[in-house]
Structure 1
Amino acid sequence: MSTPPRRWFKALRRDRLEEPCMKTHLLECMELLKRARAAFQAGRAFDESFRRVQLEALVRMLVEHECDFVDALGRDLHKPRFETVVSELILVKNEALHAINNLKKWMEPQQVERNLTTTLDECLVVCEPLGVVLIVGAWCSPVQLCLVPMVGAIAAGNCVILNPSECSSHTSELLHHLIPSYLDNECYHVTLAGVNDLTEIVDLKFDHVFFTGNREDGGRVAQAAAHTLTPVTLVLGGGKNPCYVDQQCDITTTARRITWARFHNAGQSMVAPDYVLCHAEAKAQLLQALRCCLLQFYGSNPQESRSFGRIVNLENLHRTTDLLRRSGKVAVGGQVNEADKYIAPTILSDVIDSDPIMQQEVFGPVLPILTVNSIDEAISFISRREKPLCVYAYSSNNKVISRLMSETSSGSFCSNDSVLQSLMVVLPFGGVGASGMGSYHGHYSFDTFSHRKSCLLRNTCIECVTYLRYPPYEEHNLSLMTWASSLSQKSQGWCQIL
């Protein structure tokens, strides 16, 4: 549980973080799972005080090694320190502190209202941990997407096997070395398995699998989990998040918020607006406002800006470059530097539904603009496609916002801003349909990693009534039970059989 000496950690950064991420083999995963299973069965993670200590240690790890996380994310994604601190470290700390402050309340059994049958009994819902859970994080926000679900799993009393993405290798190595130094070594483990090894790992049989990533890999994980009847939570980025811009909106604020959300982390985000459906009357104004925002945010040469990131690897760079070159017309940006893994913040105009960039999620700094002539056309366009993780709407007309919220289906919805709904501890976040299943954040994370067990604590003193249910069955007994049910229905609005 002690922090490693500073001299040791400096040596680790120098010697290990320069090397490729060392993969964990299947046999090692089996051994870690065995240890975690033994710890869970021994009840090691059940006590409230133990969970609280682990969450506090997680916060301390983020505070004491802030510079190391900034360094690792800088190496993986050229991520600016500001973005790392705000969207990764502070977010996880908020989740952990929220769990610490509410843990006692979350763990308390919930009383259920008594009825005619249970007047002398006690009905409870008890939240118990699931067991050993596997959490698979994504590379685009490698700290947040690993540790936010882990906070929920720890708070719920589970043991955890955490598998960060191999794409963000420096951050994965950092988590691999830091977590054993802060958290319990029997209950919590970090593996470095590649995405191609995930199905074999899932086959080892966990009590829950939490996966964040693309739809293709998520489908394979879900299929593997189904073989062992393992429940899963999937947060998938395989869809496209639409953003409607109405002719009635504050164009300056709209452009500023869309630009921040789309080009944050060089566009590598599962929750960023993936394309804009712009009302024809607002298109010219929006394009001009977006140009001004890009100049204001990143200067005339974004490649020299300290506020703009890089693509995680050449594979993603080539895929994104291919999409932008075969779609629409470049209105802003479009420059590519392969050696620097750099794609300039790019806006595409004159995009149509059949363009290649509209067939895949864009994990890069490219924003396609499509034109619609009415709110009805926008709703129809969104509804024809698979359900996205997020829907965004910018309008000063409350009726427009209300229609988009109620007439489209998505994992989450946000009006007049972007991304923030996915960061709040008080709101559940997750997908629906093609964008996933299940949710997390705050209390919803605790629920995701808990089994809500129904408990009836009966009293034996009313056997003089309950004997009516026993064989041999008599019409007289049935008449009495029917009469009792009718009384229950009149007094409580529902029928209760003894």
Structure 2
Amino acid sequence: MTATQDVPPTPTDRVRLDPGAVAERGATETAEHLRQGAHSRVAHAKRFRVAQLEAFERMLRIHRADLLQALEDDLGKSQLESQVTELQMVQNEVEHARRHLDDWMRTRAVASPFALAPVSTTVTARPLGMVLVIAPWNYPVNLTLTPLVDAIAAGNTVLLKPSELAPATAALLERIIPQYLDHRTVAVVTGGPEVTTELLRHKFDHILYTGGERVGRIVYEAAAKQLTPVTLELGGKCPVLVADGDVMGIARRIAHGKFTNAGQTCVAPDYVLAVGSMGAKLAAAMPKVIREFYGADPRTSRDFGRIINAHHVRRLAGLLEEGHVTAGGIVNEAERYVAPTVLTQVVPEHSVMQEEIFGPILPILQVATVDDALRFIGDRPDPLAAYVFSERGGVVKAFEEGVRAGAVGVNATILHLAVPELPFGGVGASGIGAYHGKTGFDTFSQQRPTLSKSIRLDTLRMLYPPYGAAKSAVLRKML
């Protein structure tokens, strides 16, 4: 059976499918419809959550070819890159959630003071209610569907707002999700900023936004008016400290992290701080690695993607006006192509060092010592990730203790995103909160405490007034 021949699954008492009705609703109507679903608590039951996750897996399997094609249309991604960085990561998240859902949902007993005995005290993860996911364009499958998995596992209703800048993927998700997931609990709304603005007027129980800092502030302000908690994934300039080690091996790992998805990755290496002679060595190695990865002309490589639109091509072209182009530097706006590029002779005042690059341009700056690099990083906003390359334990320890970042990679870049057990989130300017795996389940849950005590034996009379001298003395010893 091909993706285009797929027949939607038959509705059951656990999963109700009504794609036609969903398509007819606007943003406001959809939000109100999901609020009703949240009030009904239909998504709370464990067997319902499991059924949704199973249907999710069927959707990924049956529409694999459709999703890969949409990603190619939007971002020029090779199918293998899309499979590894988008579909497989979502699949891993679903499998992880299904495998651990029993443990995550299990009520856990906690200790209580002796003075309250006999008493039962527990904590249970309860669904928050209705979640809004505002997704970005750079990984339009992964960063839309991964938080959806976590929110479903936590028993919430979820409204997805995919990015209008990845129209093929947004349209596909709008079409296929209602075919597999219960329309009372999951819906997709497409459109531009005006739709997002409309949605933010509604009361949600949690909002997860992935994107730039400017819009993140708008989302945060709107959520504050409703006292809605948020998770903000905002990116930033992720530094790489290169202190020592095999230069070609380091160059390959940096190039992989930098040029995957044509550099449009929120945790991609943004710039390199190379200590001493490592700067010249790395600058010489990077062009060799680029040729090794993408051939003499990366424009013809099936493994090198494209920039999302002409606006961002022009923005990136402007960053090439300063510094020295050691490799790449070629721009073709008509093809949305920016070559994998290495810049040297860069200084902190250059434009390329003032904003998140979000494209295949890698500045290499030379520093005298590791301490100089740590001060350079510390003087700037906290990044979403930071990377260090060194075989010396002291250097690694100094980096881990001296750098504040959403995540740290040691002798590797971007790979931490592939581990469901690792929280994904920022700190300071790079974001608020985290998700993935158990962390995502907890993000979309309330850890609700319950205290239960029998009324038949009133052991609390010592706590009731009036408080005489004798009772006060006993209470001071007990509490």
Same fold, TM exceeding 0.5? yes
| 1:273 and 2:272 correspond | no
1:406-485 equivalences in 2 (<5 Å): 406-460=401-455, 463-464=458-459, 466-484=460-478
Q: Is the 8 A contact 1:393 1:415 kept in 2?
A: yes
Q: Deviations over 1:316-365 (max 9, x none)?
A: 1111110122x211110101111101011100001111100101001111
1:27-426 equivalences in 2 (<5 Å): 28-237=26-235, 239-246=236-243, 248-325=244-321, 327-426=322-421
Q: Which whole-Å CA distance do the structure 1 matches of 2:370 and 2:339 have between them?
A: 31
- Matched residue SS, 1:454: strand
Deviation at 1:121, TM superposition (A): 1.0
Q: Deviations over 1:232-260 (max 9, x none)?
A: 000002x20000000x2121211001001
Q: Is the 8 A contact 2:31 2:199 kept in 1?
A: no
Q: Which whole-Å CA distance do the structure 2 matches of 1:454 and 1:86 have between them?
A: 40
Q: Which whole-Å CA distance do the structure 1 matches of 2:193 and 2:455 have between them?
A: 55
Deviation at 1:468, TM superposition (A): 2.2
- Matched residue SS, 1:300: coil
Instruction: Structure 2 unaligned segments of length 5 or more: list them.
Output: 9-21
Q: Which whole-Å CA distance do the structure 2 matches of 1:94 and 1:5 have between them?
A: 24
Q: Which whole-Å CA distance do the structure 2 matches of 1:118 and 1:358 have between them?
A: 59
- Matched residue SS, 2:424: coil
Deviation at 1:291, TM superposition (A): 1.1
Instruction: Structure 1 unaligned segments of length 5 or more: list them.
Output: 10-23, 485-496
Q: Which whole-Å CA distance do the structure 2 matches of 1:25 and 1:249 have between them?
A: 55
Q: Is the 8 A contact 1:165 1:195 kept in 2?
A: no
Q: Which whole-Å CA distance do the structure 2 matches of 1:90 and 1:422 have between them?
A: 12
Deviation at 1:117, TM superposition (A): 2.6
Question: What is the aligned length?
Answer: 465
Deviation at 1:223, TM superposition (A): 0.3
| 1:6 and 2:1 correspond | no
- Matched residue SS, 2:241: strand
| Counterpart amino acid of residue 429 in structure 1 | F
Q: Is the 8 A contact 1:131 1:207 kept in 2?
A: yes
Q: Which whole-Å CA distance do the structure 2 matches of 1:117 and 1:27 have between them?
A: 56
| Counterpart amino acid of residue 53 in structure 1 | A
CA RMSD, 1 decimal: 1.8
| Counterpart amino acid of residue 125 in structure 1 | V
Moved more, 41-50 or 187-196: 187-196
Is the alpha carbon distance of 1:47 and 1:167 closer, same or farther for their aligned partners in structure 2, counting shifts above 3 Å?
A: same
Q: Which whole-Å CA distance do the structure 2 matches of 1:372 and 1:66 have between them?
A: 46
Q: Is the 8 A contact 2:3 2:64 kept in 1?
A: no
Q: Which whole-Å CA distance do the structure 2 matches of 1:193 and 1:206 have between them?
A: 19
Q: Which whole-Å CA distance do the structure 2 matches of 1:171 and 1:5 have between them?
A: 15
Is the alpha carbon distance of 1:434 and 1:26 closer, same or farther for their aligned partners in structure 2, counting shifts above 3 Å?
A: farther
Deviation at 1:28, TM superposition (A): 1.1
Q: Deviations over 1:44-96 (max 9, x none)?
A: 10111110111111111111111111110000000110111011000000000
Q: Is the 8 A contact 2:6 2:62 kept in 1?
A: no
Q: Is the 8 A contact 1:198 1:221 kept in 2?
A: no
Deviation at 1:422, TM superposition (A): 2.3
Aligned twin of 2:14: none
Deviation at 1:38, TM superposition (A): 1.3
Q: Which whole-Å CA distance do the structure 1 matches of 2:385 and 2:168 have between them?
A: 29
Q: Is the 8 A contact 1:26 1:200 kept in 2?
A: no
Q: Which whole-Å CA distance do the structure 2 matches of 1:216 and 1:56 have between them?
A: 37
Q: Is the 8 A contact 2:310 2:333 kept in 1?
A: yes
| Counterpart amino acid of residue 231 in structure 2 | T
Q: Is the 8 A contact 2:161 2:196 kept in 1?
A: no
| Counterpart amino acid of residue 129 in structure 1 | P
Q: Which whole-Å CA distance do the structure 1 matches of 2:146 and 2:292 have between them?
A: 32
Q: Is the 8 A contact 1:410 1:431 kept in 2?
A: yes
Q: Which whole-Å CA distance do the structure 2 matches of 1:163 and 1:155 have between them?
A: 19
| Counterpart amino acid of residue 366 in structure 1 | I
Q: Is the 8 A contact 1:25 1:193 kept in 2?
A: no
| Counterpart amino acid of residue 192 in structure 1 | T
